[in-house]
Amino acid sequence: MSHDDFNFEPVRGLPEALPEGEHILWQGAPDPRRLAREALALRWVAGYFALLAVWRVGVSAADVPFGIALMHGLPFVVSGIIACGILYGIAYVQARSTVYTLTNKRVAMRIGAALTMTLNLPYVCIGTAKLDLKSSGHGTLAFELIGDTRISYLMSWPHVRPWYMARTQPALRCIPDAESVARIFADAAETRISQPRVERVETHDGDAVAAE
């Protein structure tokens, strides 16, 4: 029997049904291998343990035969494999529990493996978006928020632009076909922001109702 951990969602990736006039343009999730490399520094960790293994073999080779020296480096190799496996497991769980959504009105991000939450970012709260595109077509689309909109870097990690802590930038991390997703976002945001807004204003002593 199949089991869906998020079967309580009325719409996949969203905590509630879409209001009238809003529709989904795109949904996706991070690529786990790319997330492990870019967010969890998988290659750096692998390189660190490889360097330790080479160093240990080199030191031991001065005192014992080379075959035995190789065995002295084996624990570092095994430790490195275990560490990389743990990092990839974390990336896989993060990617599996994540759903990025673009609608005609907002960016929604269902994130978090142990503690799931949904970030709703209306296009009117996003000043600019920056695309970090890789040669494989994968990339990260980060959003610079304007106004009083704030999110926590620690609560949102790794779905943020790295090292932007003072002014956290939520991000669609390591998504496939990132250039096309950025184009969908740009078109939807431009359309949404260009729509006129009408605001009701309290009137006194016969003042007119102002609209914009």
The pTM of the full predicted model, rounded to 2 decimals, is 0.81
The residue-averaged pLDDT of 3-28 equals: 79
Q: What is the pLDDT of residue 196?
A: 55
Q: What is the mean pLDDT of residues 107-123?
A: 90
First and final CA of the chain: distance in angstroms? 54
CATH number for the domain running over 102-194 = 2.30.29
The pLDDT, as a whole number, for residue 62 is: 85
**Of 80, 74, 129, which Cα lies nearest the Cα of 102?**
129
Domain ranges, ordered by start, for the chain: 35-94, 102-194
pLDDT tens-digit map of 158-172: 999 998 888 899 999
**CA pseudo-torsion sign 154, 36, 13, 100:** positive
148 falls in which pLDDT band (50, 70, 90)?
A: confident
Quickly state the pLDDT bin for 211 (edges 50, 70, 90): very low
User: For residues 203 and 140, is the Cβ–Cβ distance under 8 A?
Assistant: no
pLDDT mean over 11-18: 85
Give mean pLDDT, residues 204-210: 48
Query: In this model, does residue 28 exceed pLDDT 50?
Result: yes
Backbone phi, then psi, for 133, in 5-degree steps? -100, 130
pLDDT computed for residue 94 by the predictor: 93
pLDDT of residue 212: 44
pLDDT tens figures, 34-66: 999 999 999 999 999 999 999 999 999 888 888
CA angle, residues 106, 112, 117, in degrees to nearest 5: 50
- The pLDDT value recorded for residue 69 is 87
